[in-house]
Amino acid sequence: MSASQGSAAQHPQFVPIPDPQQVQGVRAYREPDDPHPLQLAFLEPAGESAWIEEMRGLLSEGRADEACRRLTAALDGFGGALASICKATIANDVAVEGWDDLLPILSEWEGPAITGITLGLTNPPDLVFDQGQTHEPDLLLGLYSDEAFLFSRASSSDVLAECGMDMPAWSGAEEDVEFYCTVAGLADLNTALINCKHRRFLRDGRDGVEGRAPGGYVEFVLGSWLLVTRFLQAAQRAVAEHGLPAGCRLIVGSIDVNADFVTLLGAEPKQAADRRRAASSEPAFAPLTIKPWVPREDLDAQAPDTGPTLRQRLAPVEHEPVEEHRRGFLSSLLTRFRRGRS
């Protein structure tokens, strides 16, 4: 039998068929007998979107550890290959390598003070690598001064609002500092997500399951958010251990990894914080409405309408639906960037 296989392998059109007992199928997924709560929540697009916005909100507020606890609890209910890789991706094994060189390098920098840094996790759009190889995500890095944007004076809300602009003020104004860093510890999870065959939930009857979202798809969503959560934890740990330049703000986010977020690390300037507190402490005065005077002798006269009627003031205003604005972050944030050296 082995001799026959060996001779067949010599044929130019020979295609090996793996032993199903030795490899895992690329599409087959063993659904649990009872659906996981997230499989039910993801059944409708609104439920999935609500969960994603909750995760994005946690990371945007810098609450990476809380997001990690939620993801870990959810993954406990899944037993697929991707879920196993997620469970093996430990926070302490993920690191932003090279961050310890930042302050020593900037101490010799002769240009303007670095007051803003952007650090983003991404994958190249046309990434191709051989089977069996793993690929760490790329880091997009940019260092900026107050000449591009007043990072050292702006409030946190102002910086994040600028991130949401189509063309942030600092775009194309990166300082030429010879500093590089990479992310390590995410290669296995990142590669599994890139190769995952359960990246879509069509909801049109072709997904192979009824009354639930496919388990493989939910694992993919969980894995994507675990990837960026581990990255944010690593960035927070790097800042805690090695610090930031005085007065510097670090914008951390992700793009094109199926889980986009943006958050801000670094203390808010005292002046900006004082302005924010002063604005929040100012009393809000209700507008004073004066009823028009009506002559007493004209008892049947009615005052002219000068504002909305009671019904108009109590009835809810039906606003036109607003299309959700997703921060492009690195797609427009870094029009000129430098990739970390591998």
pLDDT in tens, 151-175: 999 999 999 999 989 899 999 999 9
In which band, very low, low, confident or very high, does the pLDDT at 207 lie, cut at 50, 70 and 90?
confident
In which band, very low, low, confident or very high, does the pLDDT at 149 lie, cut at 50, 70 and 90?
very high
Residues 263 and 157: beta-carbon distance below 8 Å: no
> Is a pLDDT exceeding 50 seen at residue 57?
yes
Write down the H helix ranges in 152-263.
156-163, 187-195, 215-242
Residue 304 confidence (pLDDT): 46
Residue 81 confidence (pLDDT): 94
> Taking the chain, what is the end-to-end CA distance rounded to the nearest angstrom?
45
Alpha carbons within 13 A on the beta-carbon side of 70: 18
CA angle 223, 227, 228 (to 5 degrees): 125
In which band, very low, low, confident or very high, does the pLDDT at 111 lie, cut at 50, 70 and 90?
very high
Residue 1 confidence (pLDDT): 45
What's the rounded Cα separation, in Å, for the pair 249 and 235?
13
Please state whether beta strands 249-254 and 114-122 pair in parallel, antiparallel, or not at all (unpaired).
parallel
Q: Rounded to two decimals, what is the model's pTM?
A: 0.76
Residue 248 confidence (pLDDT): 95
Residue 205 confidence (pLDDT): 82
In which band, very low, low, confident or very high, does the pLDDT at 6 lie, cut at 50, 70 and 90?
low
